[in-house]
Structure 1
Amino acid sequence: MTDQSVFVLGEGFHALEPTAFETEAEFQELLARHPRVLDFGSLADGQPLRLVLVAREMGVATSAESGPTYWLDHLFVDADGVPTLVEVKRATDTRIRREVVGQMLDYAANGARYWPAALLQRSFEETCAADGRSVEEAYAELLGEQSPEDFWTTVEERLAAGQMRLLFVADRIPLELRAIVEFLNRQMRQTDVYAVELTQYRGGGDLRVLVPRIHGEVATAAKSPTGRRGSQRTTRTDMDAALRDHLTPDLRRAASELLDHATSMGRLEGGTAKYPSMSAHYRAGDRQVPIWTLSLHDSEKTELGFSFASITHHLGLDVAAAFADSLPAVGELKAKLEVQPEKGYKGWPTVPLTDLASEPGAVTRVLTAIQELVEGQDSSASASA
């Protein structure tokens, strides 16, 4: 891009000169306060994108047993529940050429695994509080008719399916990064990758102009329509068909027990990932709490994941600890449950359905644990009434 001045006509004639951002922190603060400079594209219904900040310096864990290892500059989300991961670099930072790409892919891969819905919801609400913004007002603009729990579950599902945007933002995008972005965007079917060159012009006083230039849109438009994300949710009919077509009778029986219990005692919600999935929400006291998600990734990998972060967020550590103690410690689940206390019961431990189905009574113990959790909250609510 040229370094030519920009001229503003209004009550006078103003010449604005291209000016570098003094620090990366200044650059990051600008994006956090004014995300509209990144609002290119539109929602599924054609409405403007309107990104909303979930958190600055969003922690990224690399295992269910660890705390944050990395820190993403910004995590945004739109009203469709599509997460947008943003890394900011000034042109003077040599990492803008190649290192930042590996960094971003680390964040995307691990965020997809270790950002449960409850963590995302808590981060967003804490950001609202820190900014002095009403959570109710923020949700009114973002959610429409959805509940916060349903919305953040959708965000979690999109992450797990790789349905996200990756944005590299800098005041100057080098050719090396632009080439990598366009290559990744052509190859990644579920994930959109962009480089945003944000040039700043300053004039007299506080007058400032920001000019974004987007790289990667051509590659995005060229993607096959069948590879792009959809908003079609898995129905119970879809799930039953997938179980029938891909699972053995024992696994199908175990999955059906879980789904039938959620249908009769709670509420099932279909996922929007490219593979069939359904989440179970149960009313515990006065709250609808996501408890588990059943995901049929392929014919060899069907797993049940427990949303401990949601349980802890809604019902507290003691309830989450009691629930963990009640679950059957079978197969891979045993080791994952053992590390939950030191991690504050904020993980997403999963267990292959084969482990549950092969252990006599294991599925029954899962359902009993859920029943005890729900009834315990109902008793507490009645006692306090």
Structure 2
Amino acid sequence: MALQPVFVVGGADVHSLEAAGFDSEDEFQQLLARHPRILDFGSPADGRPLRLSLVAREMGVATGEDTGPTLSLDHLFVDADAVPTLVEVKRATDTRIRREVVGQMLDYAANGARYWPAALLQKSFEDTCAVDGVPLEEAYEALLGERTTQEFWAEVEERLAAGRMRLLFVADRIPVELRAVVEFLNRQLRQTDVYAVELAQYRGSGALRVLVPRIYGETAAVPGKSASPGTRRAAWAPSEIERAVGEYPGEHEAVARRLLEHAAGHGRWEGGRGQYPSALAEYTAGGRGFRLWALTLTPRSDKARLEFSLGTVRQRLGATAAADLTEDLRKLAPLAGRLADAAARDYNLWPGLTMDDLTRPGTLDTVLAALDRLLASARQDREAADHAGPA
């Protein structure tokens, strides 16, 4: 059914605005990039504004540890609750808006959660601010609160890893088939909120136009689901992680316990917030704490996975430290090829080893020795800086 005109009344004058499509998808995308407030429909639980800030338009998405970006998300936003919002834009005339766009979005979400480390997200955001001429101090004022920039982006990375994000399908007309899929996904996904945003456009004389958003897929009434991804899922308790480790067969349990003991001896570990029990190791070196690895304890112990945050090492300890750790890890056959171009990618990688990899002779010892060298080098750098004193 055709959309009826909208009438704007000003004093004795009445202006008619007729429904009009967008001239191109690029025009549609530019509009959202410049004016994210258009998508600020508020959380369904309390109507609180989302306060979206653009991280990047055409955000690259890798699909493997040893590949560069092979996919491109239309927009990535983030809000002051550190919740990432993925946006895919289609015009109603594009037949992909019916079903194909859903598969695309799930690809972006699944791979973004794995291959968007905090350092990459921060660089993308700050590059976008530079291109748009927005001072960083002004851009961060709307996001940080009491957090540092590093803490904020680490929190965004953590939410991604836990699947706590929003997926927005935006079009000038949302077909009933897409609405049905969005409503289904919202019933099934516990961590992720999914919306379809219909943005009808009306044009009048001159430059006057009106945009009328309609939201589909609100989740406030979905049983068993949090009303907003800004509400953090409870972290796995240490006792739950210990229980998961204890249920592993002997050699896998021994590897997991050595990793946890190493983290506790050089800093601390805490429970993650993902689907499966996970431990996030935060090491202290040179007076600085930084997230170094994550261990995900999947039901099949051979598929449990240890992943290293090279981007965080690059950000916190510098490129030399990241390069040294990379070279040590490249001694391991499963990582040799994946890390060949790590420097070219500015170390924005999460290389990983399965539990089966870690139980091969000498592998865990090589990993722990690499971590020890990294920590020792960081301590030496800090001591040298302290001894040198202020310049």
**TM-based fold match above 0.5:** yes
**Identical residues among aligned pairs (%):** 55
Confirm or deny: 8 A CA contact 1:305 1:349 kept in the other structure: yes
Q: Report the 3-state secondary structure (helix = DSSP H, G, I; strand = E; otherwise coil) of the residue aligned with 1:85.
A: strand
Deviations along 1:286-316, whole A, 9 cap, x unmatched? 7543321222233523322111122224444
- Within the candidate set 336, 339, 348, 2:338 is matched to 336
Task: Name the residue aligned to 1:136.
Answer: 137
Deviations along 1:66-87, whole A, 9 cap, x unmatched? 1111111101122333221111
User: CA offset at residue 383 of structure 1?
Assistant: 6.1
For 2:145, give the aligned amino acid.
G
Within a 5 Å distance, the mapping from 1:1-385 to structure 2 comes to 2-11=2-11, 13=13, 14-42=15-43, 47-217=48-218, 221-225=221-225, 230-244=232-246, 246-248=247-249, 250-283=251-284, 288-300=289-301, 301-327=303-329, 329-330=331-332, 332-341=334-343, 343-360=345-362, 361-362=365-366, 364-379=368-383, 381-382=385-386, 385=389
TM-score (norm 2): 0.85
User: CA offset at residue 320 of structure 1?
Assistant: 1.3
Q: Report the 3-state secondary structure (helix = DSSP H, G, I; strand = E; otherwise coil) of the residue aligned with 2:304.
A: strand
- Residues 254/274 of structure 1: CA separation in 2 closer, same or farther (3 Å cut): same
- Residues 369/299 of structure 1: CA separation in 2 closer, same or farther (3 Å cut): farther
- Residues 248/328 of structure 1: CA separation in 2 closer, same or farther (3 Å cut): farther
Please give the alpha-carbon distance, in whole angstroms, between the structure 1 residues aligned to 2:135 and 2:204: 34
- Please state which structure has a larger fraction of its residues in helix: 1
Please give the alpha-carbon distance, in whole angstroms, between the structure 2 residues aligned to 1:133 and 1:269: 36
Confirm or deny: 8 A CA contact 1:291 1:310 kept in the other structure: yes
TM-score (norm 1): 0.86
For 1:69, give the aligned amino acid.
T
For 1:318, give the aligned amino acid.
T
- Residues 280/370 of structure 1: CA separation in 2 closer, same or farther (3 Å cut): farther
Please give the alpha-carbon distance, in whole angstroms, between the structure 2 residues aligned to 1:331 and 1:17: 63
302-311 vs 178-187, greater mean Cα deviation: 178-187
Q: Report the 3-state secondary structure (helix = DSSP H, G, I; strand = E; otherwise coil) of the residue aligned with 1:234.
A: coil
User: CA offset at residue 121 of structure 1?
Assistant: 1.7
Structure 1 gap segments, 5+ residues each: none
Q: Report the 3-state secondary structure (helix = DSSP H, G, I; strand = E; otherwise coil) of the residue aligned with 1:142.
A: coil
User: CA offset at residue 33 of structure 1?
Assistant: 1.9
For 1:336, give the aligned amino acid.
R
Q: Report the 3-state secondary structure (helix = DSSP H, G, I; strand = E; otherwise coil) of the residue aligned with 2:167.
A: strand
Please give the alpha-carbon distance, in whole angstroms, between the structure 2 residues aligned to 1:205 and 1:91: 24
Please give the alpha-carbon distance, in whole angstroms, between the structure 2 residues aligned to 1:200 and 1:16: 9
Please give the alpha-carbon distance, in whole angstroms, between the structure 2 residues aligned to 1:286 and 1:368: 15
Aligned alpha-carbon RMSD (Å) = 3.1
User: CA offset at residue 27 of structure 1?
Assistant: 1.1
154-163 vs 61-70, greater mean Cα deviation: 154-163
Q: How many residues align?
A: 383
Confirm or deny: 8 A CA contact 1:356 1:362 kept in the other structure: no
